[in-house]
Amino acid sequence: MDLADATQDWAPEPITTTGGTSAWTVAAVSGMFDLDPVAGEGDPLPPMWHWFGFLDHPRTDELGDDGHPLHGHFLPPIPDRRRMIAGGRLRIGEPMQVGRTYTRRSSLVSSQVKHGRSGDMLLVTVRTEFFDGDDVLVTEESDVVYRSQAPGQARGIAFDDPDADAPAPSDEAVVLTPDERLLFRFSALTYNTHRIHYDQPYVTGVEGYPGLVVHGPLLALMCLEIPRRRGRPVRSFDYRLSRPAFAGTRIVADRTDDHGGVAAGVPGVPPSITGTVTA
C-alpha cells in the first residue's frame, strides 16, 4: 500500500466545536485514579483533563471492526488502518475551568510518510486550540501514527518483565497496575471504542499484540500526576510514546531529572513514554 498515493489529496479543513469538562467527569476520572474529586465547579482543570470533556460521538453504525470510526475529519483514507498515538505538545497560557464551556478549533498541521524498520507509516499532526472568547487558553498538538496492516499480522512485540534490580521509585512516583477494569473505565470516559484496550481475542488475533494495550493518553496523564499531586503548576508538557504497555504490568511514572524530565513504563526496561514538564 503506497501511503503517499492514498493521502496525496487528503487535506481536511479546520473544524470548530464547543465543549467543556464537567465536575461529574472530574470526579469520575479522580475515582479511576483511586482519588477523591481533585477539583470542583469553577476550579482550574488539571492539565490534559480536557481529553475527557471534548468528545466526538459517532454513531455505532459508523464504527469499523477495530472500534474506530470508519471515517473522520482527521482520519486519513487508508485501508486496514491501524492507529497509535506517538506523542504531543501542550502549552497552557491559562488553565480552563471545570464546568465552563469553551471553543475548540482543530487543524491539520502536517501529514508525512515515514519509513521505518516495521514498514511505512503516516505521521499526522493535529493542532487544537481552546478559546475563551478571543483568548487562546490552551494549545495542544497531537502526533498520531497510522499504518496499513492486514488483520492477523504479528507485531513482534512481547511483554516486558520488570527488572528486579531497577532503582526504587522516588517519593513523587505515580504507580499503577492497569487491569481490564481500569482500561474499560478509561475507554468509557473518553468514549473510545478502540478494541485493543478491552477485547483480548481481537487485540491478539487481529492486531497482533500480546495483550490488552494501555492507552497512550493514560500514560501521559500518569506523568502529569507527578506535578499535580505536589501542587506544582504546569505550563508545558512535551512527550513521546515509544513502546506500548500492557494490562497487568506494573507501571511507574517518575521524575528522571531535576529539570522537568518524566517517564513512565515497566521498571528496569526502556520507558513507554518520556517527556518534559515545565512550570
User: The pTM is what?
Assistant: 0.93
Asked if 279 and 227 touch (Cβ cutoff 8 Å), the reply is: yes
Please tell me the predicted confidence (pLDDT) of residue 210. Answer: 93
Q: What does 190-243 look like in DSSP terms, one character per residue?
A: TT---GGGT-HHHHHHTS--SSPBPPHHHHHHHHHHHHHTTT---SEEEEEE-S
CA distances from 204 to 55, 118, 197, 212 (A): 28, 18, 11, 8
What is the Cα–Cα distance from 103 to 173, expressed in whole angstroms? 34
Please tell me the predicted confidence (pLDDT) of residue 151. Answer: 66
What is the Cα–Cα distance from 233 to 65, expressed in whole angstroms? 41
Please tell me the predicted confidence (pLDDT) of residue 115. Answer: 82
Cell of 103: 471553543
Helix (H) or strand (E) holding 30: helix 23-32
Please tell me the predicted confidence (pLDDT) of residue 1. Answer: 61
pLDDT in tens, 62-94: 999 999 899 888 888 888 888 889 999 999 999
Asked if 47 and 200 touch (Cβ cutoff 8 Å), the reply is: no
pLDDT in tens, 166-180: 788 899 999 999 999
Q: Say which DSSP state 50 is in.
A: G
Amino acid of residue 25? T
Domains for the chain: give ranges and CATH numbers.
Answer: 3-278 (3.10.129.10)
